[in-house]
Structure 1
Amino acid sequence: MDTAARHELRVLAAANPALPLLLTIGRFARPIRRIPRLGWVVSDPVTARLILNDATHFTLLGEGGVGHLWAQVLGDWVYDVFDGPGHHALRTQTRELFTEDNAAALVRRVIGPRLAAAGSQLAGGGTVDVADLARVMVGRIVADLLGLRVASDDDAAYREVFSTGEELAALALGTTTSTVLEPATVARAKQIVARMTSNVAQVWRTAPADTLLGRCRELGVEMRHTEGLATLLMVAGTETAASAMARTVALLHDTGAQDRLRAEPQRLPDAVREGLRVSTPAPLIGRSVRADTDVAGRRLRAGDRVMILTWTANTAPGGFSLDRSYLRDNRQLWFGAGRHLCLGAPVARAEIGALLSTLLDTGRPYRIVARRYRRRVLIPSYEMLRVSLAS
C-alpha cells in the first residue's frame, strides 16, 4: 500500500474503527447486496446513480435517509422542501446562488485575506496547520452565509462557528442502523439550530441582495425555509469541506503530485476533482425504499433501507492521479446525484482551489512536518496537518 492510501485508511479508521472494514468489504457488494442490520448495500457507481436519480421508488425522507433525521429537528416542513413538491421549487429558486462564478467571488471576499496571511506566514519560514486553517475558512464562510455576528474577526471566533456546526452534525453519529433520534438528542439539536439561526430572520429582512440570505428574500424563499437552507448548508458544508481541503493537501504531498501541479498549474481543477474523489468526505449516503422495485436483479421492498458506499464506488478506479481521465460512471458522485446533488458543490470546489493556489503561489514545495487524525467523528478528517516550505 502506498503512503497516500495508508494515511487515507488511517483517517477513516480514526473516525470510526469499523469504517475501513465496511468500505473495503463493500467492494464485494457490487452491484447491490443485502446485509443484516444495514439493509441493501451498494458500491457500484452506476447502480448508486440509478437509485439517487429515482425519486419514484427511493426517498431520503424515510428511515435511513438524512431527511428523516433532520425532519425530527427542523420540523415537518422538511418533508415538503427536502423531497416533496417544494424541493424542485427551492432548488430552482436558489440555483443561481451557487454558480461557479458566485462561489469563487464568495470565497475571494470571505477568506481571501486569511489565505493571503497564511501564504505570507509560509513564505516567511513559518509553519501552518492546514487542518485548522481549513476549519477557520469554513467557519468564515458559514458565518457569512448565516449572517452570524462574531465577537471578533479572529481565528478563534470562526473556530467556534465551525465547532458549533460540527456539534450539530455529530448528532448523526450512530445512525448507521437507524435514523430515529432520541428525544434528548432532538432537544439538543434544536437548541443548537436556534443558536446558529438566531440572526437569520433579522438579516433576511435587511441583507444586501448579493448575500445568501438577501438573495433568498429577493427570490421569494420563505424565511423559515431560508433558515432551514442555511442550517443544512452549515451541517453539510462544515466538516465535509474542511475534510476535503486538508486531505487533498495531504494527497498532493504523499503522492508527489504537488511538483507536477506546480509545473502545470492549469491542472488545478483536476487536482480538486481527484482530491474530492479519493477523499469522498461523506463516505455513505442513505436512502429509504418508497415503493417496491427491482434493482440489478434484486427485489427491494417499500420500507427497506439502502446504504450507498460512495467512498468505495469512487476509489475503486485507483488512487490519486492528475492523469486520471474523466470517469463517466462516477462523475460527481462524491456530491451525490440527481435532484439532491449538493447545492454547495461549487463553493467546496472554490474553497479547495483557493487553498491549493495559496500553497502553489509560494513558489516552493511544501512538506508535512506533523499530522494527526480526528477521532470518533462523523466525517473522517485530519485533526492537525502542519506544513512548511522546503528549504
Structure 2
Amino acid sequence: MIAPAPQRPLRIVLAPDSLKGSLPAAEAALAMSGGVRAAAARLGHPAPRVVLAPLADGGEGTLDALLTAWSVEPRTTACHDAAGRARSARYGISSSGTSGIPRTMGVLEAAEANGLPLVADLPLDALTATSYGVGEIAARLLDDGAEEILLCIGGSATTDGGAGLLSALGARFLDRDGDPLPPGGGALAALASIDTTDLHPRARSVRWRIAVDVDNPLCGPRGAAAVFGPQKGATPDDVVVLDAGLAHLARIVEEATGVAVLEVPGAGAAGGLPAVLVPFLGAEIVPGSALVADAVGLSAALADADLVLTGEGSLDAQSLGGKVVQAVVGNAPAGCAVVAIAGRVQLTAAEVQDAGLAAAFSIATGPMALDELIQGAGALMEEAAAQVYGVFGANRPG
C-alpha cells in the first residue's frame, strides 16, 4: 500500500558526473530530473523541487559542467595545438557573484589546446609537443578580467613541464647563450635561466587552481615522463631524455624561486604543467572534484536537500578516491540520503554504505551489452531515477 503523499514537495538535488562515452553530466542530470518528476506525478505527489548540479572531476567535461552551473555560454579564442598548428579553443568565464561566487572565475580545459585527440592525425612527437596553446587560452582569460583561473589539465599530449604555457604568458626559457629554447620537453636539458620580466601583468595577481586526479611526482619511476610519456608517443629513449629534462627544469626553478617542485605531489600531472605554475604563479593543486564542487557552490546547493542523486559511468573503488561521488557525499547535510546511479556498480552494499551512500543502483535493466547501455543511457538513467524516487520519496513524511 502506498503511503500518503508528503505534505510538501521534496527538494531533490541531481549532481552526477558524466557517463564517459555516452552521457554528459548535464544530460545525465536532465534524465534524472525527468525520472523523479514522472515518478512523483504517478504517485500523486507535489512536483519535487529539483536542482540540477552536474559535476565533473577536473577532466573531460569540466568546462561544460561549470558553464551549465554558471548559466553562461562558452567563449572561443585562437590558440595552437601541441604540434604548433593554429586552432580555436573554448573557455568559460563567470560573472562576479554567479551562483553566489564572490569573484569572477575563468575555466579552461588544457586539452582544448594540447589534447592528444587534436594531434591524432600526426605521428606523435613527445620531445617537441608544446603546451604553448594552453598559455594562450590562459592569457585570454587574464585579458577578459578573470580574478581566478581554474585549470583542468587532463588528456594532454605534452611533457614540457609547463614551459610552453608560461612562455605564452610572457616568460622566456633561455639557454646559456641567452637564446630561447625550442618548444617541447626534449629541449629542457639546455635550459640555463627563466626570465619572467615580461610576464603578463595580471598573471601573479589572480588565484590559480589546477584540477588533478593523480598525485604523480614530476620525475622518477612514477613521474610525468615514465608513466604518461609512452601514451604520448615517447619511446624508452625519449622517456629518459624527458625525465632528465624535467629534473633539470626543477633544479633551475628551485634556484629561481626556492620551491622544490620535485617534492610536490601532483606536479607530474599533464606532462608536468604544475611544475612552473606552482612556483612562479602560486598555483594550488587540488583534486578536480573538490575544485568543481567549490566552483559551483555545491555545499550551498545541498544545504536543505531531502535527497541527492549522483553517479558516473562505473562506480568502483576509484570512485571513492577523490572523484565526484565522494565530493557529493562530503558536501551533503547530515541525514540526507545520497544515492548513486551508475552504468555499472562494482561495490558491495557494505562498501557503498561505508562510503556514506544510502544505496547504489545500476542503470542496467537486466543482462545488457555495453553498446546497449551506451546507446540507451539517457532513458535508462531516467528509469533508474524514477525507481529511486519510488523508494525514497513515496514513504517520506512531510
TM-score, structure 1 as length reference: 0.25
Please identify which structure carries the higher helix content.
Answer: 1
Higher RCO, 1 or 2 (CA under 8 Å, sep at least 6)? 1
Please identify which structure carries the higher strand content.
Answer: 2
